[in-house]
């Protein structure tokens, strides 16, 4: 037997829910949110937050729109107690926000909890005890009736102490901790006993929170468990069913979504999933999942850079670059095919002014989160021609014709392979200038003169370069470009065929520069070049000269041909 032995594990029990209805439901609204960053998230930090840092994060949560915020476990430490008192005594809790506190079902802890809340306008007292099979048998070594009594006693003490503070609007919340490891009927039995103490039908606000304290099943099984409870729990119409999923299997968000389909009303979680082990359910991810489906998440996540910055400053945690929706790289495409699709899809979207977002590879508009399109495409050795072209269009207004994209992509890819990393935008521009715009030495057009006779254009061209004399070309043709290629063919003893040509203004207006692009063959060898000039004719002629000059230079024939010319 090896150490990595799957045989020592057994599948978790499932519910035989043959008539489940949650798979046919569709989410149409956001749940009630409760942030547990200041309690569940805080207790999982290497260095828990100070009162000042907790206050800073509390203010962020309020700004984002949370109406229920679990502020801590006041009976657990003086810092937690002091934070609750700071919020209350300094009147820092907005009127539309209800704070929540956690306590175990022990009288002395419940008493300390109510002390910490003295004078609060509205609060949720969240009491819990563990009900799972493994906890009952191995930790508490107690039977079902004893565990049930712990829950009943805790609920009774909460009701009793709340009655002493009639100026506060109280909500009571109970969690059968490790719900997913508890037999469903027994979990319902304990919850019903608590509900019987609190009497929600008589007007008491009650929340039953069903936590996947440790995620032990797939999200579909969790959904079955939630639907099973929702069907059988007492006073269902008077209570809110809440979910608190953890991410041990990486499915916390999925479990919460399916749990909402199964009938839950409320979700607890943290920003970016901070929490014990692999973390809590990520509220940002779930909220953005809803947003991407046209559902108002009832949270303001528009300024994501500030949210991430504040979260990291308060917790000391970092948001991974591939974090769903918000990571640094999630709106970045390195794949060439992705880049090309993004470029075309964005152009189509803008051309047709589509009323709803539907862009390839971008499930939402990054601008909704304060991101920018220059982050969408970055170039490395895996990038393709479309991405490189988009960089030039987006950052420099240079629209390279489609037939030139393959050559441009190959030129940039060579650079990426040499450096082994990302090619930044400025370097993409530099490659374009070096490989396509730069005029080969001695091939700069110095001037030209032309005359026409009997439908033929007769032209003289002067070429030159730094420190060199001029070369004169003479050619004839039906137009200026044909006359130039004729002159080049006569001078250098080659055959030139123009295969592709494009010329357009780089910007509107009569003063705009023109970009000319030429693809040709010299004795069957391909050459490409571009030129920019205020005179479109000058740009076109120079592009032809540069393309021919590049081919001849590569063949080592330039010096000899010049001597002949």
Average pLDDT over residues 509-526: 90
Q: What is the pLDDT at residue 376?
A: 59
Write down which residue in 437, 469, 501 finishes a domain.
437
Q: Is residue 328 part of a domain?
A: no
If asked whether residues 475 and 519 sit together in one domain, one would say yes
The CATH number of the domain holding residue 301 is: 3.20.20.70
Average pLDDT over residues 256-285: 97
The CATH number of the domain holding residue 461 is: 3.30.160.270
- Which of 16-25, 118-127, 503-512 has the weakest average pLDDT? 503-512
If asked whether residues 428 and 552 sit together in one domain, one would say no
For residue 565, pLDDT over 70 is answered with: no
Q: Is residue 9 part of a domain?
A: no
Q: pLDDT of 462-491, one tens digit each? A: 998 766 678 899 999 988 999 999 999 999
For residue 335, pLDDT over 60 is answered with: yes
If asked whether residues 149 and 169 sit together in one domain, one would say yes
Q: What is the pLDDT at residue 423?
A: 86
If asked whether residues 497 and 557 sit together in one domain, one would say yes
Q: Is residue 497 part of a domain?
A: yes
Q: Is residue 528 part of a domain?
A: yes
What single string gives the DSSP state of each residue in 113-133? HHHHTTT-SEEEEEEEEE--H
Write down which residue in 282, 315, 348 finishes a domain.
315
Q: What is the pLDDT at residue 343?
A: 86
Average pLDDT over residues 31-43: 97
Q: What is the pLDDT at residue 561?
A: 47
Domain extent, residue 391, equals 336-437
Rounded to whole angstroms, how far apart are CA atoms 382 and 133?
A: 52
Give the chain's domain count: 3
If asked whether residues 412 and 459 sit together in one domain, one would say no
Q: Is residue 36 part of a domain?
A: yes
Task: Please list, in sequence order, all residues whose beta carbon lies within 8 angstroms of the beta carbon of residue 110, skipping any fewer than 6 positions away.
Answer: 75, 103, 125, 127, 154, 157, 158, 161
Q: What is the pLDDT at residue 466?
A: 64
If asked whether residues 390 and 277 sit together in one domain, one would say no
If asked whether residues 392 and 479 sit together in one domain, one would say no
372: confidence class by pLDDT, cuts 50, 70, 90: confident
Q: Is residue 13 part of a domain?
A: no
- Which of 32-36, 74-78, 263-267, 373-377 has the weakest average pLDDT? 373-377
If asked whether residues 220 and 134 sit together in one domain, one would say yes
Q: What is the pLDDT at residue 510?
A: 63
If asked whether residues 359 and 297 sit together in one domain, one would say no
Give percent of the chain above pLDDT 90: 81
If asked whether residues 162 and 277 sit together in one domain, one would say yes
For residue 341, pLDDT over 60 is answered with: yes
If asked whether residues 411 and 468 sit together in one domain, one would say no
According to the 3-state scheme, what is the secondary structure of 284-348?
Answer: HHHHHHHHHCCCCCCCCCCCHHHHHHHHHHHHCCCCCCCCCCCCCCCCCECCHHHHHHHHHHHHH
For residue 511, pLDDT over 80 is answered with: no
Q: pLDDT of 374-391, one tens digit each? A: 555 667 767 666 778 888
Average pLDDT over residues 358-385: 80
If asked whether residues 394 and 256 sit together in one domain, one would say no
Q: Is residue 21 part of a domain?
A: no
Task: Please list, in sequence order, all residues whose beta carbon lies within 8 angstroms of the beta carbon of residue 258, skipping any fewer than 6 positions away.
Answer: 22, 219, 220, 222, 223, 226
Write down which residue in 437, 459, 482 finishes a domain.
437
Q: Is residue 404 part of a domain?
A: yes
């Amino acid at each position: 037997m090896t150490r990595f032995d799957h045989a020592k594990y057994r599948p978790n029990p499932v519910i035989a829910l043959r008539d489940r209805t949650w798979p046919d439901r569709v989410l149409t609204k956001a749940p009630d949110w409760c942030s547990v960053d200041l309690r569940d998230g805080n207790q999982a930090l290497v260095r828990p937050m100070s009162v000042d840092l907790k206050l800073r994060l509390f203010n962020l949560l309020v700004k984002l729109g949370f109406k229920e915020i679990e502020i801590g476990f006041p009976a657990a430490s003086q810092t937690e107690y002091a934070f609750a008192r700071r919020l209350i005594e300094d009147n820092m809790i907005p009127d539309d926000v209800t704070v929540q506190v956690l306590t175990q079902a022990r009288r002395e802890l419940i008493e300390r909890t109510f002390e910490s809340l003295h004078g609060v306008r509205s609060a949720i007292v969240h009491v819990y005890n563990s009900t799972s099979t493994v906890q009952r048998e191995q930790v508490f070594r107690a039977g079902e009736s004893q565990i049930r009594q712990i829950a009943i006693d805790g609920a009774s003490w909460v009701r009793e102490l709340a009655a002493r503070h009639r100026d506060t609007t109280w909500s009571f919340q109970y969690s059968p901790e490790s719900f997913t490891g508890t037999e469903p009927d027994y979990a319902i039995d304990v919850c019903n006993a608590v509900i019987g103490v609190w009497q929600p039908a008589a007007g008491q606000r009650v929340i039953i929170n069903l936590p996947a304290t440790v995620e032990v099943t797939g999200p579909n099984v969790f959904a079955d468990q939630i639907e099973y409870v929702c069907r059988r729990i007492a006073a269902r119409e008077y209570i809110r069913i809440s979910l608190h999923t953890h991410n041990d299997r990486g499915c916390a968000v999925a479990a919460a979504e399916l749990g909402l389909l199964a009938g839950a009303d409320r979700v607890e979680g943290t920003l970016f999933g901070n929490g014990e082990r692999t973390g809590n359910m990520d509220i940002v991810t779930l909220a953005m999942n809803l947003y991407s489906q046209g559902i108002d998440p009832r949270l303001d996540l528009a300024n994501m850079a500030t949210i991430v910055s504040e979260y990291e400053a308060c917790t000391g945690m970092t948001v991974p670059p591939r974090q769903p929706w918000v990571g640094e790289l999630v709106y970045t495409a390195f794949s060439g095919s992705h880049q090309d699709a993004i470029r075309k899809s964005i152009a189509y979207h803008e051309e047709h002014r589509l009323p709803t977002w539907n862009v390839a590879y971008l499930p939402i508009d990054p601008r909704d989160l304060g991101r920018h399109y220059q982050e969408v495409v970055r170039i490395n050795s895996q990038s393709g021609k479309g991405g490189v072209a988009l960089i030039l269009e987006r950052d420099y207004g240079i629209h390279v014709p489609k037939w030139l994209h393959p050559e441009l992509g190959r030129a940039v890819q060579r650079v990426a392979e040499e450096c082994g990393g990302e090619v930044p935008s400025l370097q993409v521009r530099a490659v374009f200038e070096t490989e396509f715009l730069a005029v080969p030495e001695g091939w700069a057009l110095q001037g030209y003169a032309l005359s026409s006779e009997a439908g033929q254009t007769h032209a003289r061209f002067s070429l030159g370069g730094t420190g060199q004399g001029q070369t004169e070309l003479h050619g004839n043709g039906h137009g200026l470009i044909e006359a130039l290629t004729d002159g080049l063919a006569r001078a250098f003893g080659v055959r030139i065929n123009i295969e592709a040509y494009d010329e357009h203004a780089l910007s509107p207006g009569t003063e705009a520069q023109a970009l000319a692009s030429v693809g040709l063959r010299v004795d069957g060898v391909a050459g490409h070049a571009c030129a920019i000039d205020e005179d479109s004719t000058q740009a076109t002629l120079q592009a032809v000269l540069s393309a021919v000059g590049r081919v001849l230079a590569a063949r080592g024939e330039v010096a000899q041909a010049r001597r002949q010319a």
